[in-house]
Structure 1
Amino acid sequence: MQKTLMGACGLALSLLATSVMAQSLTQDEINQLGNNLTPIGAEKAGNASGTIPEWTGGIGPDAGTKLEDNFSTNPYANEQPEFVITAQNYQQYSENLTPGQIALFERYPETYRMPVYQSHRSVGYPQAVYDQVKRTAGQAKLVNAGDGIDNFAHGTFAFPIPKTGGEVVWNHLTRYRINTKRWYMQAMPQTNGSYTLIKLEEEVGYPQLMDDVDEASIPNTLLFFKQSVNAPSRLAGNVLVVHDTLDQLKEPRMAWVYNAGQRRVRRAPQVAYDGPGTASDGMRTSDNFAMYNGAPDRYDWKLVGKKEIYVPYNSYKMTQPGVKYEDVLNAGHINPEYTRFELHRVWEVQGNVKDGQRHIYAQRNFFMDEDSWLLNLADHYDGRGTLWRVGEGHVAFNYNVSLPGYAIETLYDLLAGRYIALGMYTEEVSAPQFDFKPTYNQFTPAALRSSGIR
């Protein structure tokens, strides 16, 4: 596959803790890809009631107009909600809701609602991605009792026909990605709705897409990541660099931080698992970023099955230039006027902390979109079995580069009555840039000091 089309695995990493090793796929199973299954393993047919349509290839660049500064138009701007789910009527839709969604209705009965629109299976990928997935299907293997992956360096969608919970999670982490540079905001509203904007700048590079990197010499390297804090002034200049690996038990994640106040570069082993997320006021863990990332070894992953769930999807309202953060960020939760939910099929996976391991989330239930393998919804439970935090990944498909991503990620703390929102860019200098051409030197510890400002 050529570098310009070769997908990379998502920001986050080798993820599969399961003691059950998947069996190799048969040729008959592989032949389903592109036939009754989509080229990356979703069911091509719609559902029996017609509320989920057939997948016909997704939408392409002709779906809308590319605007200045990498922004794009909303291809579904003229659509209106078919109905709205509220605290007063959610019981009649409960079969298609997650425990976390029900908890949000009960926590915010007067304000939380879900506008439900016509479902569109908008996601589609370059043909080169489809060719690679079919060529490599059945080759990837889980190692270390499922904690790592072998025979799949620098590919995409490692397990298009998954048979274990770990394989489903791994598909989220090996989803198609390309080099990206973006500016975005993070906010942690108080219970009264007040917040401080944290301005972040991020660069991500993938070995197979970097001209000065010999990927053959680093087969276990997944990605290079740099994140700078640009505001507020008390945090500006702090920079994080991460080198992630496919098998983090074989080669652990390497991370360094530059602290502008101390003017020092230090190793950062805390940037993993349940270590605090950057400038998050304790409202998210490191592995909450991109909905989930990190080494898989602290959880056993169980495949619950496939369900039809109302998920945040085609969330273009939150990608349009001119949308103000203050209009989106409300007390308790984001403004429902900017959300869009659709009925889609998702894979549910449950992770439970292994005996002898620890994490502030004792149990996590993930709901993964079958068409993109993006994690749509996540329920996090504490050590007492109480539902604690509910994550929403509001998916929007960038049809100009055939790449789905998150318009915004939210993580609601049901106990504190607060939440964190990150990823919005509608008031930034540019929407995410996908023509970014990073070099290895940009992701070295030596580059950290020059990246910082004070």
Structure 2
Amino acid sequence: MRYNKNWLLGSLLAFSVVSTSASAAVSGSEASRLGNDLTPFGSVKAGNDSGTIPAWDGGLTEPPAGYKGSGQHHINPFPNDQVLFTINARNADQYSDHLSDGVMAMLNAYPASFEVPVYQSRRTHAVPEFVEQNTRKNAVNAEIVGAGAGIDGAFGGYPFPILHGNNEQKGWQAMWNHLTRWRGISITRRSSEVAVQQGGDYSLVTSQQEAFFNFYNPEGGEEDLDNIIFYYLSFTQSPPRLAGGAILVHETLNQIINPRNGWGYNAGQRRVRRAPNLGYDSPIAAADNLRTADDTDIFNGALDRYNWRYEGMKEMYIPYNNYRIGEKGLPYSKILGVSHLNPDLTRFELHRVHVVEATLKDDARHIYGKRRFYIDADSWNIALVDQYDGRGELWRVTMGMLKNYYELPGVWTVLEVFHDLQARRYHVLGLDNEESQTRVFTDDVPNKRYFSPASLRRRSVR
């Protein structure tokens, strides 16, 4: 991989003080399993023995009739699917082997209202051919560098479709698969987030977001990354007290050697300033402090403050194929319950997940003492997170409401939901039902000056 001289010098200095724990890539014969007994992205192609998880048959790659293109709210491709059974506080013990501790805690905390409607499992994840090809190349080339700090030898696909090495290395690899997972090339969307208070009250914070996933740049390659995974812009549009503010993020591939670059625009001061603390457990004001900076996208950022351990594969009920909750025109008041989303609009399915546990290092600081991640084995999206406080008490439960975006194709979240069991409040990110469009995906490759700090003031209008 070729980097500029300043970055390379920083790398050499950092590696003089940071232990290098590179994990060698898998062999060519092992990688040949991709597309054979494994899916092109590394999950087991076969179904389970009981038949409750089907074999992967190529995923969902064609939109249903009536869908006209990116930006249109999605038509449910499975309108006739019915609830197989519902898990509630009364019967949860029967299903506990397939439920996360966080979901069990939600059932116990809200026994009269929270439920888990279970539907037929549908393995809808799919990726374009170029992502499959790059994933096969990555399997024999990609390596972890700097004790989980970054990756090398990967571009345009999942870096580690076949986990290997010891449990620490597998944990790093699974998390990096999430951080670099396929989500398209360029995206724009207007959406809202809300912090729902104990009595059910909430107010919308609406913003316009734009992102370019440089890791999947169709006009580039690994040598063109310049250590940037993606570029992200967000402009707050309402309420009036926040309107005009903006943030810009350059997300780096190795955040220990070259931390993420962030900038903020303050509309009142009309100034762009560096935002060096936009990471880890920095609170997000628009979320009423119910979401940390590294909670966004279910998890993002550097891995250095935790010890990571891969706990193996499990069959779990996770949110999947959540089309109803993203329907156009569905009022937010119907989606947002007093303590959690309206369970009648959610869909859970039995899927294989990778379980990764992160324990805070003795010399590190973070509000979460431990985190347990449940990562969809097909799409490498984190679907559920159990987050513990410094006393070891389960504190927050995060859910990524997954669905297939068949215009990509690929699975990603429609909503991200963050429950605080101690405060009895929750936060929702990604509401766009009442907007004219949902996420718009394109293959456009913008000029990188478009995502420069100088663009923030020009484009931020109060």
TM bucket normalised to smaller: over 0.9
- Paired position in structure 2 for 1:155: 156
- Paired position in structure 2 for 1:166: 172
Indicate yes or no: 2:128 matched with 1:126. Answer: yes
- Paired position in structure 1 for 2:449: 441
Measure the CA separation in 2 of the matches of 1:436 and 1:55: 27
Measure the CA separation in 1 of the matches of 2:59 and 2:217: 28
Q: CA deviation at 1:339?
A: 0.2
Q: Which runs of 4+ in 1 moved over 4 A?
A: 17-21, 208-215
Deviation per CA, 1:142-164, whole angstroms, max 9, x where unpaired?
A: 11122221222x33210000121
The 1:399–1:275 alpha-carbon spacing in structure 2 relative to 1, beyond 3 Å, is same
Match of 1:342 among 344, 349, 368: 349
SS in structure 1 opposite 2:442?
A: coil
- Paired position in structure 2 for 1:102: 104
Q: CA deviation at 1:135?
A: 2.1
Opposite residue 85 of structure 1, the aligned amino acid is I
Deviation per CA, 1:128-183, whole angstroms, max 9, x where unpaired?
A: 2111111221211111122221222x332100001211111111111113211011
The 1:362–1:348 alpha-carbon spacing in structure 2 relative to 1, beyond 3 Å, is same
Match of 1:390 among 394, 397, 409: 397
Deviation per CA, 1:194-227, whole angstroms, max 9, x where unpaired?
A: 0001112110013366699897454311111001
Q: CA deviation at 1:296?
A: 1.1
- Paired position in structure 1 for 2:432: 425
Q: Normalization by structure 1: what TM-score? A: 0.92
- Paired position in structure 2 for 1:310: 317
Measure the CA separation in 2 of the matches of 1:424 and 1:239: 19
Measure the CA separation in 2 of the matches of 1:277 and 1:348: 27
The 1:61–1:214 alpha-carbon spacing in structure 2 relative to 1, beyond 3 Å, is closer
The 1:137–1:201 alpha-carbon spacing in structure 2 relative to 1, beyond 3 Å, is same
- Paired position in structure 1 for 2:414: 407
Opposite residue 180 of structure 2, the aligned amino acid is T
Measure the CA separation in 2 of the matches of 1:109 and 1:157: 39
- Paired position in structure 2 for 1:146: 148
Contact 2:138 2:157 in 1 (8 A): no
Q: CA deviation at 1:324?
A: 1.0
Opposite residue 132 of structure 1, the aligned amino acid is N
The 1:393–1:64 alpha-carbon spacing in structure 2 relative to 1, beyond 3 Å, is farther
Match of 2:181 among 150, 170, 175: 175
Q: CA deviation at 1:18?
A: 11
Opposite residue 89 of structure 2, the aligned amino acid is A
Measure the CA separation in 2 of the matches of 1:376 and 1:18: 31
Bigger shift: 254-263 or 211-220?
211-220
Contact 2:195 2:203 in 1 (8 A): yes
Measure the CA separation in 2 of the matches of 1:18 and 1:65: 54
SS in structure 2 opposite 1:308?
A: strand
SS in structure 1 opposite 2:286?
A: coil
C-alpha RMSD of the superposition: 1.9
Indicate yes or no: 2:46 matched with 1:39. Answer: no
Contact 1:207 1:214 in 2 (8 A): no
SS in structure 2 opposite 1:159?
A: coil
Contact 1:381 1:389 in 2 (8 A): yes
The 1:51–1:214 alpha-carbon spacing in structure 2 relative to 1, beyond 3 Å, is closer
Contact 2:153 2:222 in 1 (8 A): no
Contact 1:211 1:439 in 2 (8 A): no
Opposite residue 158 of structure 1, the aligned amino acid is P
SS in structure 2 opposite 1:200?
A: strand
Opposite residue 173 of structure 2, the aligned amino acid is E
Measure the CA separation in 2 of the matches of 1:24 and 1:216: 19
Indicate yes or no: 2:260 matched with 1:253. Answer: yes
Measure the CA separation in 2 of the matches of 1:216 and 1:45: 36
Contact 2:131 2:156 in 1 (8 A): no
Match of 1:452 among 449, 457, 460: 460
* Percent identity (aligned): 41
Measure the CA separation in 1 of the matches of 2:216 and 2:454: 22
Gaps of 5+ in 2: 1-17, 165-169
Q: CA deviation at 1:293?
A: 0.1
SS in structure 1 opposite 2:236?
A: strand
Gaps of 5+ in 1: 1-16
The 1:85–1:20 alpha-carbon spacing in structure 2 relative to 1, beyond 3 Å, is farther
Opposite residue 319 of structure 1, the aligned amino acid is G
Q: CA deviation at 1:260?
A: 1.0
SS in structure 2 opposite 1:165?
A: helix
Opposite residue 267 of structure 1, the aligned amino acid is R
- Paired position in structure 2 for 1:116: 118
Contact 2:215 2:229 in 1 (8 A): no
Contact 2:21 2:145 in 1 (8 A): no
- Paired position in structure 2 for 1:8: none
- Paired position in structure 2 for 1:219: 226
- Paired position in structure 2 for 1:236: 243
Indicate yes or no: 2:27 matched with 1:26. Answer: yes
Opposite residue 98 of structure 1, the aligned amino acid is S
- Paired position in structure 2 for 1:204: 211
Measure the CA separation in 1 of the matches of 2:137 and 2:197: 50
SS in structure 1 opposite 2:141?
A: coil
SS in structure 2 opposite 1:137?
A: helix
Measure the CA separation in 2 of the matches of 1:379 and 1:49: 27
Opposite residue 201 of structure 1, the aligned amino acid is Q
Measure the CA separation in 2 of the matches of 1:384 and 1:267: 34
Bigger shift: 58-67 or 172-181?
58-67
- Paired position in structure 1 for 2:8: none
Q: CA deviation at 1:244?
A: 1.1
Q: CA deviation at 1:351?
A: 0.5
Measure the CA separation in 1 of the matches of 2:113 and 2:302: 37
Measure the CA separation in 1 of the matches of 2:386 and 2:208: 28
Measure the CA separation in 1 of the matches of 2:225 and 2:59: 34
Opposite residue 95 of structure 2, the aligned amino acid is Y
